[in-house]
Structure 1
Amino acid sequence: MTSRHDRHTLRALGLADAPRDRPLSYPGAWPARSGLLSGDELLPLDRLTHPGRTPVVAVGSNASPAQLRHKMAAAAVASAVPMVKARVTGIDVGASAHVSRFGYVSASPVRAPAVTRELFVIWLDPEQLALVDATEPNYDRVLLPAPEFRVELENGEPLPDTFAYVNHHGVLHRGDGIPRRHPGQRALITELLLASAALRNMFGGTPEEFCARARADAALCEEGTRLFAEEKMVTSSGLEHLHVP
């Protein structure tokens, strides 16, 4: 018999696998509903807003409870993280123009005034915010000011100002200068390898080879990041004008 406690574990909810361990699963499994990430559990939330914490829109693996759990545990941060579903207008989910040391090509927001996406807002206390900032060396945390960007919680409440992590290498495009949407890791790496012989020479011909070689060699990840720029695969996210705190 499954206890009430067991029903809230990440394993029981199908949320236990982190992209840092399984790169082709990136951005990882996201929760079906809002919750409070506390250790290995995702507990019910008693409220959607959390004064004293910073609201950050997650477009990639920061919306994966398993990935967040890894980050917090590695730094011995034990406090819980509220994760709240939201409708976000003004950004879409693009593909970062860098190869992650964990073996994937991560997501980054791009400006998209007519687009509304269902994403998560993670509410971080000062210690958690400093930690997550430190785990994002390829990103700048920027302010998403209202009304240019609208973040509406699941109860319809708008947030006046939120933050997001924007990749400072830019984002990838398909050849037309328009940021490509991140289609999921396997599909994205397959498309990139098909489009670039130089990338295949570096990382192999399959997503599995790409991930394995990237995870084994930090210098190769840097070379891959440079190659994106050299092959003119990079464009602006349209968010460079935003304020970096």
Structure 2
Amino acid sequence: MDDATDRTLRALGLHEAPREHPLLYPGAWPSDSGLLDGDRFLPLERLVYEDRTPVVAIGSNGCPGQLRHKMTECGIGSPLPMAKARVTGVDAGVSAHVSRMGYVSASPVGAPDTVRELFVLWLDAEQLAVIDASEGVPLPGGNFDRAWLPSPDVRIDLADGTRLPGAYAYVNRHGVLHDGTGTPRTHPGERELLAELLVGLPRLRELFGVVPEEFCARARGDRRLCERGTRLFIEEKLVTASGLERYVAASARAQQSGSPGTGASLSPPLT
């Protein structure tokens, strides 16, 4: 098997997209940094790209198969660097909405003492527009806002010793689900999450069925049903704040004021 074949997403087990297979959410993540180049995941020559916008991937945006699906759908084929990072201050919570993709997605939550290995996506302007659109950022009724998470509130350390001054993340406009005590719950993977929610919420079973497979099949593409599921989370008093809302407001103020480095496709300079 030649090197080009070795580096295909399929050969690396990174090819499947949760958009096509909801129960696989958040999808397979790479073991290390790399360059998503079409159907291949290549070694990354450097970890910092000052001419691109850094976005921390919390859920399926860390899955090359999902990223390829989003980019291909919009006709974007440019290479996309993914840098593995040690991130302190955020965790993967559970979005308080049902996605029309057929799953309940992950959402960042503030977690000052939590350290996670996540990926920083270095996006050019076209790639950023695609990811923004996929998260509903430009739409008044969209599910996410893109917010700048600054250091030292959130520490992002790359393998080469670089500490980023911050990065963007997609913060859920609906809030996140809590664990019963008011603390945001963490996303355990789609099958386990849906099984727990369906067991604990009879009204959710009435809408989406009794097993995760039924949930995904019924939710997929059914806007009204997904909206009903999202309202049910509120009615069952399962929703809390992510703890990151202040960064959404700060990012909006910065963009309105035209502050350098805080525009829609710009980021503060590295220091």
**TM-score, scaled to structure 1:** 0.98
1:226 to 224, 231, 237: 231
**Ranges in structure 1 where 5+ consecutive residues have no aligned partner:** none
Task: Give the partner amino acid of 1:228.
Answer: F
Task: Give the partner amino acid of 1:21.
Answer: E
Question: 1: CA distance between counterparts of 2:164 and 2:222?
Answer: 41
2:210 equivalent in structure 1: 205
1:214 equivalent in structure 2: 219
* Offset from partner CA, 1:11-57 (integer Å, 9 cap, x none): 00000110001100000000011000011000111100011100000
2:61 equivalent in structure 1: 62
Query: Aligned to 1:128, what secondary structure does the other structure show?
Result: helix
**TM-score, scaled to structure 2:** 0.89
1:195 to 165, 181, 200: 200
2:147 equivalent in structure 1: 142
Question: 1: CA distance between counterparts of 2:162 and 2:128?
Answer: 23
2:165 equivalent in structure 1: 160
Question: 2: CA distance between counterparts of 1:123 and 1:216?
Answer: 30
Q: CA deviation at 1:174?
A: 2.0
1:91 equivalent in structure 2: 90
Q: Does 1:128 align with 2:127?
A: yes
Task: Give the partner amino acid of 1:76.
Answer: G
* Offset from partner CA, 1:174-205 (integer Å, 9 cap, x none): 22110001011011101111111100000000
Task: Give the partner amino acid of 1:157.
Answer: T
Question: 1: CA distance between counterparts of 2:75 and 2:55?
Answer: 21
Question: 2: CA distance between counterparts of 1:57 and 1:131?
Answer: 15
Question: 2: CA distance between counterparts of 1:156 and 1:105?
Answer: 35
Question: 1: CA distance between counterparts of 2:44 and 2:107?
Answer: 27
Task: Give the partner amino acid of 1:60.
Answer: G
Question: 2: CA distance between counterparts of 1:151 and 1:140?
Answer: 20
CA RMSD of aligned residues (A): 0.8
Question: 2: CA distance between counterparts of 1:151 and 1:127?
Answer: 24
Question: 2: CA distance between counterparts of 1:86 and 1:101?
Answer: 30
Task: Give the partner amino acid of 1:68.
Answer: L
Query: Aligned to 1:241, what secondary structure does the other structure show?
Result: helix
Q: CA deviation at 1:216?
A: 4.5
Query: Aligned to 1:163, what secondary structure does the other structure show?
Result: strand
1:11 equivalent in structure 2: 10
% of aligned pairs identical? 61
Task: Give the partner amino acid of 2:241.
Answer: S
Q: Does 1:41 align with 2:46?
A: no
2:265 equivalent in structure 1: none
* Offset from partner CA, 1:66-89 (integer Å, 9 cap, x none): 000011111101111000100000
Question: 2: CA distance between counterparts of 1:238 and 1:85?
Answer: 24
Q: CA deviation at 1:219?
A: 1.1
